[in-house]
Structure 1
Amino acid sequence: MKFICDAMLGKLAKYLRILGLDAEYTAGPAILDRYKLEPEPPYFLTKRLKGVTYPKTVFIRSGKAKDQLLEVKEVIRRFINREKIMNRCIECNVELADIGKADIEQYVPEFVFHHYSTFRICPHCRKVYWEGSHAAHMGDLINEIMKD
C-alpha cells in the first residue's frame, strides 16, 4: 500500500518509510490525480481540512511526528510487515540493498565500521544504513503501533 503525505508531513513520511511503508512526500494533492484510476489507490495523509475531495484521505491533527504516527496507526498497522521494517531509505523511499562491510569502510565513521557488521545501502542516493541505537527506540514505537 502506498501513502502520500502532504508538505506539512515530511517527518511522518520518514517514520512510515522506517516502518517499511511506501510513503511519498509531496507539495500538494494535485499528485493524487495520477492514482485515482489505480485498482488500489494510495492513502492521502494531510493536515488540510479544505479543498480535499480524495476518497482515501486521512486528516492529521497533531503537529508532532510521533503523535501523527499514532493518529494513523489503525490505517497503517495492517500494512506493516515486520520483515520490511527499516528496509527503505528515509530520504528517497527506495528499498535498501545489502552491502558487504568491506565495501562501505570509506562511507561510515570508523567507530561504526568497527562495531557493526551488517549494512544496507540506498541504490539511489548511496546513503548507508546500519542497526544502531535508534533500532531499539524504533522497536518500542513499533510495539506501540502494533498493540490494540
Structure 2
Amino acid sequence: MKFICDAMLGKLAKYLRILGLDAEYTSDPAILDRYKGETEPPYFLTKRLKGITYPKVVFIRSDRPVDQLLEVKEIIRPFINREKVMNRCIECNVELADVCKSDIEQYVPEFVFHQYSLFRICPQCRKVYWEGSHVAHMGDLIKEIMET
C-alpha cells in the first residue's frame, strides 16, 4: 500500500519509510489525480481538508510527528511487514540494498566502520545506513504501533 503525505507531513513520511512503507512526500495535491479510478488508491495523509475530493483522505490533527504516526497506526498496521522495517531510504523512499563493508569505508565515520558489520545503501542517493542506536529507539515506537 502506498501513502502520500502532503507538504506539512514530511517527518511523518520519514517515519512511514522507516516502517518499510511506501510513503511519497509532495507539495502538489494534483498528484492525487494520477490515482483516481484505481482499485487500490493510496491513502492521502494531510493537514488540510479544504478542496480535497479523494476517496482515501486521512486528516492529521497533531503537529508532533510521533503523535501523527500514532494517529494513523490503525490504518498502517496491516501493511507493516517486520522484514521490511528500516528497509527504505528515508530521503528517497527507495528500497535499500545490501553492500559489502569494504565498499563503504570511505563513506562512513571510522568509528561506525569498525563498530558495525552490516551496512545498506540507497541505490538512488547513495546514502549509507547501519543499525545504530536509533534502531533501539525506533524499536519501542514500532512495538507501540504493532500492539493492538
Partner of 1:60: 60
Structure 1 unaligned residues grouped into runs of 5+? none
Q: Per the alignment, in what secondary structure is the counterpart of residue 30 of structure 1?
A: helix
The aligned amino acid for 2:6 is D
How many residues get paired? 148
CA positional deviation for 1:29: 1.6
Partner of 2:123: 123
Runs of 4+ in 1 over 6 A off after TM superposition: none
Which runs of structure 2 are paired with 1:7-86 in the superposition (5 Å)? 7-86=7-86
Task: Report which stretch shifted further, 64-73 or 37-46.
Answer: 37-46
The aligned amino acid for 1:4 is I
How far, CA to CA, are the matches of 1:15 and 1:141 in structure 2?
A: 10
- TM normalised by structure 2 equals 0.99
CA positional deviation for 1:53: 1.3
Kindly provide the CA deviation profile for residues 75-119 of structure 1, in whole angstroms up to 9, marking residues without a partner as x.
001100000000000000000000000000000000000000000
Identity of aligned residues (%): 84
CA positional deviation for 1:40: 1.0
- TM normalised by structure 1 equals 0.99
CA positional deviation for 1:49: 2.3
How far, CA to CA, are the matches of 1:91 and 1:38 in structure 2?
A: 26
Partner of 2:90: 90
The aligned amino acid for 1:144 is E
